[in-house]
Structure 1
Amino acid sequence: MNLSNGKTLAASGQNRNGTSGSWEDAGRVVKPSTPTRKPQPPKPENAVTIAVSSRVLFNMEPEQQYLKYQVEHENEPFSPGPAFSFVKALEAVNTRLRELYPQSEELFDVVLVTNNHAHVGLRLINTINHHHLFIERFCMTGGNSPIGYLKAYHTNLYLSADSAKVREALEEGIAAATMFTQEKMKEVSESQLRVAFDGDGVLFSDESERIFKAHGLDKFFEHEKAHENKPLDHGPLKGFLEALGKLQRKFFDKGLRMDCPIRTYLVTARSAASSAGAPKGPMLEKIRPHIFFDDQMFHVEGAAELGTVACHVPYGIAQKVAKK
């Protein structure tokens, strides 16, 4: 079964608990019913929507391309991928939010995005149940671009292993980053979400980075001094940080500023124009974020080597330099 008209693929079957599973049109995506009653997912316009590809939520390679293998092993769950702990932390925050605001739909909402065949979808459903993940929305693109679906879900962040799709999302103004499978991953908090960001080219524009690349470090410092009272323009992930801040304030309003389950960090080598700065891996190793975003592979690779789940934001001048 393969669609060529941009619609999602539909399939149905039985999951590991004997409940029915289904893949439907992306506008109506639902997860199979489960034996216990769970809260309904929020409307996309009210939620902080995180779209995650199946290849980063679970370790699906190398056998993912073999349909016969997937059908024969549909009851064997995939192991957790690099985005798994991040998604679990989102669910932990949702639990706290529902306790404080039972009627509110201002929650994290995870959408699983995949190009895989519908029969692989059955194994994905079984895997989600096995790991007790609360994912109610699925989007199977049939190999087509996910951009239309991401916009329909009002996506605040898109995580994928496909760098071309990440670039396409960024070009459409959707916060996005490329995730990589890594051998080493540090243990992270199960109750507190920790998200770390680079500055230039991630939260902020790469204006200063362009000055440094074109004219050197002295001109960079001159530019910084001349514009020290002028805020930098926004970068591709500024909106996602703002969405996190909005949920943080809901905890602050309940007097939980010190006990807030959302922590955000700015980790930058800005004093030496990021590309010349010290490695960020050692600092991130102490922070132990669930996810770290940087526009330079040097820092992404360095963080990953020390066990931090690091994502690449292919944005701005750093990408042009890297291609040379």
Structure 2
Amino acid sequence: MSEIKNNEASPANAGGASGAEKDWAEAKAAFDNLKSKKPRPPKPHTAVTIAVSSRTLFNMVEERKVWEQEGLERYVSYQQEHEDQPLKPGAAFPFVKALMTVNTRLRELYPEGEELFDIVLMTNNHAQVGVRLINSINHYDLLIERFCMTGGKSPIGYLKAYMTNLYLSKDSDKVQEAIEAGIAAATMFTPDMETELSETQLRVAFDGDAVLFSDESEIIVKQHGLDTFFEHERKNENTPLAQGPLKCFLEALGKLQKKFYAKNERLNCPIRTYLVTARSAASSGARVLKTLRSWGLEIDEALFLAGAPKGPLLQKIRPHIFFDDQMFHIEGAKELGTIAAHVPYGIGQKYHKGKLIEQPAKKS
């Protein structure tokens, strides 16, 4: 799984780290000499880096149709012909705006601070399309300075080079590839209706099993039923669950939250996290909370639904993003206006609404 970035250099790489620090100091000095009202991007190794695809940041449904129906050359021409027309906001747009709100608050409290969100546009678009993307970003006054446009090739290989903490895409295959590479990732879905979201607080909701935690307990539910699961959780209440694919993203959020707490801003913190789990509190909730405690992590609100639908509760929370490993929870969330992101991890990918999905026969 992707690991939270460590700011301290080990003796083995101290030379390389000092060289990188020197390069960064020179780049910072050059940037500071330029007259600009825009804040400079943070250092990659101290930032919480969020990589978003162009189709998650912007609504490119019409452009996608051109590519699918008329081919690549026409698609590139179409984008160039419309490069002065800003693209419409996509599923990740409110999330990105909320990240920028947090950065504004952090800069107010820590003017020289480098621990900030850094948003990278990670796309397999060709560079010729870049002008429209840049114009759209500037139109909405988004602070996105780092781009990776791979000209038709998968951008996944660049995620680690950009020190990515979270990758969001519309392409489930690329997300799966990122997960397998140990990078926190999710496939974003556009909600079926618009919901008014907070403009002052970033709200992130997580499922538990196979998202923050491994799927070990979910395997027991699927293969042996609830009674065996409850007994297993009771016996292992004091044994922390293994980490899941998004544990390190929660850790990164917690690290930024603590910067607000250090300034006595806990009650006014612009980051709020939620655990929204189908687990029952009395029967299987203690292990989850003790696992978070063993990791040194806090969750602002823990909601145990005991199998009830998540959509209505999420409708009250109004998160900028909700992560879950099971598509029926994603579908229920987006039907009620929640921006949902599917994490393709664990045994849940073989089931839908509790029923085993028929797997295609393997070729001999």
Determine if the TM-score, normalized by the shorter chain, exceeds 0.5: yes
Higher mean alpha-carbon deviation, 65-74 vs 51-60, is at 65-74
Aligned-residue offset at 1:63 = 2.0
C-alpha RMSD of the superposition: 1.9
Q: Is the 8 A contact 2:277 2:305 kept in 1?
A: no
* Per-residue deviation, 1:148: 2.4
Q: Which amino acid aligns with 2:203?
A: R
Larger radius of gyration: 2
What aligned pairs does 1:1-324 form with structure 2 within 5 A after superposition?
36-64=36-64, 65=67, 66-271=75-280, 277-322=307-352, 323-324=357-358
- The unaligned stretches of length 5 or more in structure 2 are 1-26, 28-33, 68-74, 285-303, 359-364
**C-alpha distance in 1 between matches for 2:63 and 2:209:** 38
SS of structure 1 residue aligned to 2:43: coil
Give, as a single letter, the amino acid of the residue that structure 2 aligns with 1:133.
L
Contact 1:200 1:235 in 2 (8 A): yes
Counterparts of 2:186 and 2:194, CA distance in 1 = 18
Instruction: Tell me the number of residue pairs that the alignment of Structure 1 and Structure 2 aligns.
Output: 292
Residue 152 of structure 1 aligns to a residue in which SS? coil
Runs of 4+ in structure 1 deviating by more than 6 angstroms, as ranges, are 272-276
Q: What's the TM-score, normalizing by structure 1? A: 0.86
Identity of aligned residues (%): 72
> Are the structure 2 counterparts of residues 275 and 37 from structure 1 closer, same or farther at C-alpha, using a change threshold of 3 Å?
closer
The structure-2 alpha-carbon separation of the partners of 1:320 and 1:276, relative to structure 1 and needing over 3 Å to count, comes to farther
Name the stretch that deviates more: 213-222 or 270-279. 270-279
- Cα offset for 1:110? 0.1
Secondary structure of the structure 2 residue equivalent to 1:194: strand
Deviation at 1:241, TM superposition (A): 0.1
Distance in 2 separating the partners of 1:145 and 1:116 = 10
Change (3 A) 1:169 1:275: farther
| Secondary structure in 2 matching 1:270 | coil
Distance 1:294 1:109, change over 3 A: same
* Separation in 2, partners of 1:183, 1:308: 8
Which is richer in helix?
2
Q: CA deviation at 1:275?
A: 11
Give the counterpart letter for 1:280 in structure 2. Answer: K
Cα deviation digits, residues 191-244 of structure 1 (max 9, x gap): 110000000000001111000111111111111111111111110000000000
Answer whether contact 1:185 1:309 (CA < 8 A) is retained. no
Asked whether the 8 Å contact 2:42–2:118 carries over to 1, the reply is yes
Scaled by the length of structure 2, the TM-score of the pair is 0.77
Secondary structure in structure 2 of the residue aligned to 1:169: helix
- Tell me which amino acid in the other structure corresponds to 1:90: L
**Shift of residue 254, structure 1, vs aligned partner:** 0.2
Aligned amino acid, residue 88 of structure 1: K
Local SS of the residue matching 1:165: helix
Measured in 2, the distance between the counterparts of 1:143 and 1:276 equals 44
The whole-number CA distance in structure 2 between the counterparts of 1:263 and 1:276 is 23
81-90 or 116-125, which moves further after superposition? 116-125
Q: Which amino acid aligns with 1:58?
A: F
Query: Hey, what's the Cα distance between the residues in 2 that align with 1:184 and 1:35?
Result: 42
- 1:279-299 Cα offsets, whole Å, 9 max, x none, are 101111111110000000011
Q: Which residue of 2 aligns with 1:20?
A: none
